[in-house]
Chain A
């Protein structure tokens, strides 16, 4: 009871402080865990505050005795020390009392944990896949799939232009979820371990290659919620944020049908006649989203870690192997399979890397069209 009261006072102090603080420099008051917006995240917050105040109470008592002793039992004030050096009753007491306090903590903690582990299918099921360094979202019921990349400009990161409000917390495509529905995330990874953290939902679940972890939420308040990757996953670990937008059911349904239309149109493109120029233009965008992190904008890679593409024998003269590398990845190296991209995207990006940086002039300059990828995917006899 007392603890709840203390938690309330503490909350009021922080809230009051937030009111007087100017909106721009409010970060001095970003001192505590977010309460979040789901039942679970609120429960977790309460649990956090409960344990926090128990620790504060223990700390006050223990340190009070210590500081009193440091003040009152100095050599000046107490020239001759007492001689006691054991007391079995006291020792038993300060073993049992902490144990009881721990049980008092463990009970609510275990209850909340059991609730979090309610692992049934949701109304909406989204597969979340971590990549170096972006997230892919597959809506399992609706066959929608897209990547979410950091949309903060490099110039902001390198201090060339002022940083925007959502610096490093913005993506090119938000994950939409409907409010009031149970949404279940099936979390995995394609390369190294990532971790999908959405503080407002109190969800943090590692994305591990070869495993599918689950987490669920039910959001009642429409809004935009921002999270981050929380497992070191390589050089751009700090640059793969998560943005979830919770919307009303109508808006969600409309979004789903729009996404389906886009997917249809993309599929139609596979059979279209492509010119080199069209493929290169499209490929440059695909390259910028998927390849620059390692192979760099100038195609030079990073020496010793990521091979350059400029003047590479494969990019110059070996079209078959080029397709194979993108489809299968390179065993034992950081290069993964990119077979999850569409046929058009794959053809475009391969063509782009065979044409750019003078590769067309120095090699055979052959282009790859979507049909080549379709053919590659046919079962081989």
Chain B
């Protein structure tokens, strides 16, 4: 009797609501994950369109299509949108979809806050983008918004920018708290900390980083607000303030932020390489320790972004050495991935192609990072296109490739259909070629002496800038194909099995494909 009642109860509540309100009011981790992922994709396209404006202007020397004033707005918004609108929400979306399923939990621990943390994001970016239409234009001081360019000398829209950053920060902090609480409290019996999938580990560490540094960013922008409107002089030298203080605060947030955008990628890539090598991940515990070391070191290296501000010698030496140290745990991760592949039984489906490209290209970004850590050499690299090449290598074929790999890898589980493998591979190769043609020449341009954030340049940089622009448009256009592939997969396609991938390990593959609206309402049994 009681069993019957329970079933009836289940039928009544388990399906999603109909219509728009399903998405507005949802507290379901899968729905919210989907919202985050689509939102981040929209931002990726908007930020990408801005990148196209930048590259089009740089196609040839001389000013052709935009004015320097607007160019600066483009570089600023491109950076802010890609970081806060593209990469970070995409990872939060993946965390929402995957963390509960990976630890055998029915949902995130704080579902209503989950809804809130997503739904304030569109407002943040609406405010940020609307500044383009304000008198004086959008923020034009670079995504790093160094004072006093971003305070005394900023356009009036800076106040809206500050408000928007506050909202993004609140969203990130709520998202992070949710992840921590979920992981700490809702693991199924038997899922010990050192048994958690690496994606869960990577997000647990990322969430702590977010909680630690987003308030610092909030502090920085609030001090800016005070300087602009309330007559304080935190960053105004004329009033006894200190413009360098801004950079210390910003990069104390900014450097851990860099790892916030790469640690979840480490988790994803570990799963994919393990699956398609059909071999257990090599060195699980050293992978966890490596991520922890990277996270801890990220708090003591911030001034390597500031080698040219005139720090004392002792500080320059300390930050150089500390920064170089990060190469050790990062190296351990790369070696572990390769050891996982070694003597595996490898196939190259689209997610694996992206993961392999990630390992190679991220490592190259790591090499240029190591070069940048060498302070005397950094005096030549700093604020040139060499830096632009470096961080795009770790962010585009790093973070963004990992997100694409994750989409291809888990989308059969999300919507029950297999994506079109032929198109997926085409998307990979176009992106791979596009990314390298765009960013590899930027190493040359930078070493040859072209500073970043220049709307126009001397003639000796012309040839490689042209190549870079061609690559950028190839990469940009290929992402329309990605959109097409995803939509096609959501609409239909070959049905996926529950296991989906032959070598896949983890609880998410034990549930049906597509994953039911509610999973693990009773905890799974773990051996």
Contacts and interface: CB of A to CB of B under 8 A. Distances in A.
Interface stretch (B107-115, B415-423, B451-459): B451-459
Interface stretch (A111-119, A140-148, A342-350, A355-363): A111-119
A138 B237 CA distance: 21
B307 to A, nearest CB: 9
Contact of A44 (B376, B447, B464): B376
A232 B142 contact: yes
Interface stretch (A60-68, A175-183, A246-254, A318-326): A60-68
B347 interface: yes
Contact of B456 (A34, A202, A239): A239
A305 B327 contact: no
A214 B338 CA distance: 46
A100 to B, nearest CB: 10
B334 A82 contact: no
B460 to A, nearest CB: 4
A84 interface: yes
Nearest to A209: B237
A305 B153 CA distance: 9
A78 B371 contact: no
A59 to B, nearest CB: 6
B448 A31 contact: yes
Interface stretch (B5-13, B96-104, B316-324): B316-324
A102 B376 contact: no
- Residue of A62, A113, A157, A169 with highest tally of chain B CB at under 10 A: A113
Interface string B296-327: 00000000000011100100110011001101
A304 B464 CA distance: 37
B505 to A, nearest CB: 12
B278 A75 contact: yes
Given A31-B444, A69-B341, A98 B376 contact: no
B367 interface: yes
Interface stretch (A189-197, A260-268, A272-280, A366-374): A189-197
B349 to A, nearest CB: 11
B200 to A, nearest CB: 19
Interface string B328-353: 10011011001111111111100000
A222 B447 CA distance: 24
A291 interface: no
Contact of B448 (A30, A43, A47): A30
Nearest to A34: B449
Nearest to B386: A33
A5 interface: no
Contacts of A233: 149
A32 B448 contact: yes
Contacts of B317: 110, 113
B237 A235 contact: no
A182 B317 CA distance: 25
Interface residues of B, number: 102
B291 to A, nearest CB: 14
Nearest to B347: A75
Interface string B115-131: 00000000000000000
A334 B152 contact: yes
Contacts of B327: 98, 102
A70 B237 CA distance: 57
Interface stretch (B42-50, B179-187, B356-364): B356-364
Contacts of B278: 75, 81
B376 A43 contact: yes
Contacts of A168: 61, 456-458
B238 interface: yes
Given A32-B447, A239-B456, A205 B310 contact: yes
Nearest to A333: B152
Nearest to A210: B237
Nearest to A68: B342
A206 B309 contact: yes
B280 A85 contact: yes
A305 B134 CA distance: 11
A94 B335 contact: yes
B356 A70 contact: yes
Interface in A56-93: 58-59, 62-63, 65-66, 69-70, 73-75, 78-87, 90-91
Interface stretch (B19-27, B62-70, B262-270, B488-496): B62-70
B146 A91 contact: no
Interface stretch (B189-197, B217-225, B282-290): B282-290
A333 B371 CA distance: 39
B380 A204 contact: yes
A58 B335 CA distance: 11
Interface in B447-479: 447-449, 451-464
Contacts of A55: 367, 370-371
A22 interface: no
A124 interface: no
Contacts of B72: 232, 234-235, 237
Interface in A111-135: 112-114, 116-117, 132
Given A158-B63, A195-B308, A105 B324 contact: yes
A99 to B, nearest CB: 6
A333 B155 CA distance: 10
A204 B387 CA distance: 15
A218 interface: no
A161 to B, nearest CB: 10
B377 A48 contact: yes
A204 to B, nearest CB: 5
A62 B331 CA distance: 10
Contact of A62 (B325, B334, B383): B334
Interface in B420-458: 444-445, 447-449, 451-458
A52 B370 CA distance: 9
A238 B68 contact: yes
A81 B343 contact: yes
A25 B345 CA distance: 48
Contact of B451 (A30, A158, A228): A228
A303 interface: yes
A20 to B, nearest CB: 16
B403 interface: no
B384 interface: yes
A378 interface: no
A230 B384 contact: yes
A345 B453 CA distance: 33
Contacts of B341: 66, 69-70, 73
B64 A159 contact: yes
B380 A48 contact: yes
A169 to B, nearest CB: 5
A304 B308 contact: no
A332 interface: yes
9 contacts: A79-B345, A81-B345, A158-B63, A193-B149, A204-B383, A230-B451, A302-B69, A304-B134, A305-B155
Interface of A: 25-28, 30-34, 43-44, 47-48, 51-52, 55, 58-59, 62-63, 65-66, 69-70, 73-75, 78-87, 90-91, 94-95, 98-99, 102, 105-106, 109-110, 112-114, 116-117, 132, 156-159, 163, 165-169, 191-193, 195, 197, 199, 202-206, 208-211, 213-214, 228-239, 302-305, 332-334
Interface of B: 61-64, 67-69, 72, 134-137, 140-142, 146, 148-149, 152-153, 155-156, 228, 237-238, 241-244, 277-286, 308-310, 313, 316-317, 320-321, 324-325, 327-328, 331-332, 334-335, 338-348, 356, 359-360, 363-364, 367, 370-371, 374-377, 379-380, 382-384, 444-445, 447-449, 451-464
Complex A-B, nearest 10 residue pairs according to Cβ-Cβ distance, in ascending order: A210-B237, A304-B135, A304-B136, A213-B310, A30-B448, A238-B454, A82-B343, A55-B367, A81-B279, A81-B345
Given A98-B327, A228-B449, A234-B153, 8 more contacts: A27-B459, A27-B460, A75-B346, A75-B347, A81-B278, A86-B283, A159-B62, A235-B140
